[in-house]
A = this chain, B = another copy of it.
Amino acid sequence: MNLLIAGTIGLDDIKTPFGKVESVLGGSSIYASLAASFFGPCGLISIAGQDLPSGSTTMLQKRGIDLKGLEMSDKTFRWSGSYEFDMNEAKTLKTELNSLQGFNPKLPENYQQCKAVLLGNIDPIVQLKILDQVKGDPFLVTDTMNYWIESQPKQLRKVLARSDVVVINEGEARQLFNTPNLIVAGRELLALGPKYGIVKKGEHGALLFSEHKYFSAPGYPLAELKDPTGCGDSFAGGLIGYLTKTNDFSESNLRRAIIYGSIVASFCAEEFGTGYINNIKLNDIKERYDAIKEICKF
């Protein structure tokens, strides 16, 4: 298996100014692996419960997502959140950890050799347990969020130090490094050990920091967005899917991967939950890639 994607599986209740959905399939590993699936297969590492909507596993497998690393337990993790008018930040209304509690991932035999790993947003202790079972030196992308920054700072820093790329969102970067300045935050992120730091800025795009370089990716111009849930995970999934497919982990290819990740995230935002997945093809993604080329030209 060339690509592993780890993270949560959840059943989400989502409310935005444009509507609401209940108990839809979500979680960081779902959004990320679906995003990656436009570029090639991957192996999922996660845990869910018997209450998973029927058809979920078949849908994932049809998209080339290997489920040998999916543990089945009693009840799936549940998340309930809402967005205000500006859609900038989800307000978490409720979480039920359920199967996530005490999740102790075991890597299947065919997962242990791989080229790339995405540690999606999940407890850093779980991220470390996965890392310790991976053989060789795959390209490692880690995504995290403020909750772990606050509750598991030590474990999180261990993961960040071992990562090639750390992805974090704008607000969390400012919070983690206690600065309003994203350029300063990006530099501090690199000081924790990763080779690259990516700050996601939603509608404003993303910034890539490396030792001597800096890349600014524009956001794809969306006039209508319905639900930002999973956009960050889709960004990371699209990014690592593209890197793995092209088998080129250089800085210049990482720039292209960021554009692809942003585009998959832009499609994700246009529908509730993972609703976009059946409506678009790789060709739609390529069209937006060409559009972004034009958008940046001067």
Binding site for B on A (CB under 8 A): 85-88, 180-184, 187, 201, 203-205, 207, 213-219, 221-225, 252, 255-256, 258-259, 294-298
Contacts and interface: CB of A to CB of B under 8 A. Distances in A.
A215 B204 CA distance: 13
A82 to B, nearest CB: 15
Given A216-B205, A256-B298, A296-B216, A87 B223 contact: no
A183 B222 contact: yes
Given A204-B204, A223-B187, A298 B255 contact: yes
A181 B269 CA distance: 13
A256 B180 CA distance: 28
Contacts of A201: 204
A259 B296 CA distance: 11
Nearest to A255: B298
A8 to B, nearest CB: 28
8 A-B pairs with the lowest CB-CB distances in the bound complex, closest first: A216-B218, A255-B298, A86-B180, A204-B204, A183-B223, A183-B221, A216-B295, A296-B296
A217 B298 contact: yes
6 contacts: A85-B180, A86-B180, A181-B222, A201-B204, A215-B295, A255-B297
Contacts of A294: 213
A217 B297 CA distance: 9
